[in-house]
Chains A and B, each alone.
Chain A
Amino acid sequence: MKIDFQFTTQYGTFSDALFFEDDAIPSDAEIEAMKQQRLANWVAVIEAPQPNYVLDANGNIVFDENGNALIRG
Chain B
Amino acid sequence: MANRYWVTGGSGSWNNTNNWSTATGGASGASVPSTADAAIFDASSGAGTATLDISPTVQTVNLTGFTGTLAFGTNNISVNSTGTVWTQTTSCSITGTPVVNVTNTSSTAITLSSTSVTQANSVSFNVANPTGTITAGGVYKNLDFTGFTGTLANSTRTIYGNVKFSSGMTLTSGTLTTTFAATSGTQQITCATKTLDFPVTWNGAGGTFQLQDDFTLATGRKFTCNAGTLDLNNKTLSCGLFDANAAGNVRTLAFGTTGQISCTGTGTVWQYTGTNLTITGTPVVNITSTGSTAITCDAQDGYSYANSLSYNFTGGTYPLTFFNTIGGARNLDFTGYAGTWGGISATNTVFGNLTFSSGMSISAGASIMTFGLGGGGTKVITTNNKTLDFPITITGVGNIVQLQDALTMGSTRTLTLTNGTLDLNGKTLTVGTAFTTATGTKNLTFNGGTLVCPTASTTAFNNAVPTGFTTTAGTGTGVISMTAATAKTFVGGGSTFNCTLQNSGAGALTVSGSNTFTTISNSVQPTTFTFTSGTTQTLTNWSVNGTAGNLVTIGASTTSAATLSKSSGTVSSDYLSISYSTASGGATWNAGANSTDGGNNTGWIFTAGSTGNFLIFF
Q: How many whole Å from A41's CB to the nearest CB in chain B?
A: 7
- Check if A12 sits within 8 Å of B427, measured CB to CB: no
B412 touches A51 (CB 8 A): yes
Q: Known: A10-B524, A12-B481. Is A51-B366 also a contact (CB below 8 A)?
A: no
**Least Cβ distance of A65 to chain B in Å?**
9
Closest to B502 in A: A12
**Interface size classification for chain B:** 35 or more
How long is the Cα–Cα vector from A2 to B301 in the complex, in angstroms?
A: 32
Q: Tell me whether B405 and A19 are in contact (CB under 8 A).
A: yes
Given A61-B457, A67-B391, CB of A12 within 8 Å of CB of B368: no
Most buried by B among A12, A46, A60, A61: A12
B25 part of interface (Cβ distance < 8 Å): no
Contact for B404 among A17, A58, A60, CB less than 8 A: A17
Closest CB-CB distance, A60 to chain B, in whole Å? Answer: 5
For chain B residues 400-420, which have a beta carbon within 8 Å of chain A?
A: 404-406, 408, 411-414, 416
Q: How far is the CA of A16 from the CA of B381 in the complex (A)?
A: 12
Contact B368 A15 (CB under 8 A): no
Q: Chain A: which residue is nearest B481 at the CB level?
A: A12
Q: How far is the CB of B579 from chain A (nearest CB, A)?
A: 23
Q: Is the CB of A16 within 8 A of B406?
A: yes
B483 in complex: contacting residue of A11, A38, A53, A69, CB < 8 Å: A11
Given contacts A12-B483, A61-B433, contact A50 B456 (CB under 8 A): yes
8 extra A-B contacts, CB within 8 A, seeds A15-B427, A59-B458: A12-B483, A12-B504, A15-B448, A16-B405, A16-B427, A51-B412, A66-B391, A67-B391
List 19 contacting pairs A-B, 8 Å CB cutoff, sorted by A.
A11-B481, A14-B406, A14-B428, A14-B450, A15-B406, A45-B387, A45-B454, A46-B454, A48-B411, A50-B484, A51-B411, A53-B457, A60-B459, A61-B457, A68-B366, A68-B391, A69-B411, A69-B413, A69-B455
Residues of A within 8 A of B (CB): 2, 4, 10-19, 38, 41-42, 45-46, 48, 50-51, 53, 58-61, 63-64, 66-69, 71
Question: Which residues of chain B have a CB within 8 Å of any CB of chain A?
Answer: 347, 358, 366-368, 382, 384-385, 387, 391, 393, 404-406, 408, 411-414, 416, 426-428, 430, 432-434, 436, 448-450, 452, 454-459, 479, 481, 483-484, 486, 502, 504-505, 523-524
